[in-house]
A and B are shown apart, each in its own frame.
Chain A
Amino acid sequence: GIQVEQSPPDLILQEGANSTLRCNFSDSVNNLQWFHQNPWGQLINLFYIPSGTKQNGRLSATTVATERYSLLYISSSQTTDSGVYFCAVYRDDKIIFGKGTRLHILP
């Protein structure tokens, strides 16, 4: 089946720093989405981005479907950005998640 790999697995940053999270996938996909799981376990949609670039405040995402990767950018990090970031791809009626990037923002 399709493989979804995220990097880095862990990231520790000082508040105010910028970061880039990467998602690689092994085959063509119909769609891709980024999620944030907060420290309380709640999973929140960030971007639905099968291709192109989208921005929402300090967060933006870019997917290059032909090269099978997506990037999530977080600018001016805040402590509330801490948690785990997942990308998930849709193919063959299934949504497959990567293992996530755990982000720690230090005050």
Chain B
Amino acid sequence: TAGITQAPTSQILAAGRSMTLRCTQDMRHNAMYWYRQDLGLGLRLIHYSNTAGTTGKGEVPDGYSVSRANTDDFPLTLASAVPSQTSVYFCASSPQGYAGYTFGSGTRLTVV
């Protein structure tokens, strides 16, 4: 089934450790996004990429980095995790600009 795959589904991570959340789409969408969802705060944009080779900062980029080496993959890296990064992370993609927006199933990350 075409769509977005996120991995892992959930993870418990020790503070100070690094981790990469994976996101892969098979729809050949140009744009990809990372959001975090926290209770009472909705979804906040972390980083985005309008096309392979380009990335941009969203509302809450600090402590996160991304890369977009190809169209399909958009990994999110936490270089040194902190407890405030405990959240549910969603990856999304759209074909061009903003149309046909599709979400992955999310990664639940707990930093202890």
A: residues with CB less than 8 A from B are: 1, 30-31, 33, 35, 41-43, 45, 48, 86, 88, 90, 93-100
A96–B59 CB distance below 8 A: yes
Per the bound structure, the CA–CA distance linking A43 and B105 in Å amounts to: 8
B: residues with CB less than 8 A from A are: 33, 35, 40-45, 48, 50, 56, 58-59, 88, 90, 92, 97-103, 105-106
| CB of B30 to closest CB in A, whole Å | 11
Q: Which of A1, A86, A94 contacts B42 (CB 8 A)?
A: A86
Q: Which residues of B contact A100 (CB under 8 A)?
A: 42
Known: A45-B101, A48-B100, A90-B97. A99 touches B90 (CB 8 A): no
- Residue pairs across A and B with Cβ atoms less than 8 A apart, 11 shown, are A31-B97, A31-B99, A35-B103, A41-B88, A45-B100, A88-B43, A94-B48, A94-B56, A95-B92, A96-B45, A100-B42
Q: Which of A42, A48, A86, A90 contacts B105 (CB 8 A)?
A: A42
| CB of B104 to closest CB in A, whole Å | 9
B98–A95 CB distance below 8 A: yes
Q: Which of B35, B59, B106 contacts A1 (CB 8 A)?
A: B59
Per the bound structure, the CA–CA distance linking A94 and B48 in Å amounts to: 8
Known: A33-B101, A45-B102, A48-B99. A94 touches B40 (CB 8 A): no
Q: Which residues of B contact A98 (CB under 8 A)?
A: 42
Q: Which of B44, B48, B103 contacts A43 (CB 8 A)?
A: B103
Most buried by B among A1, A30, A42, A97: A97
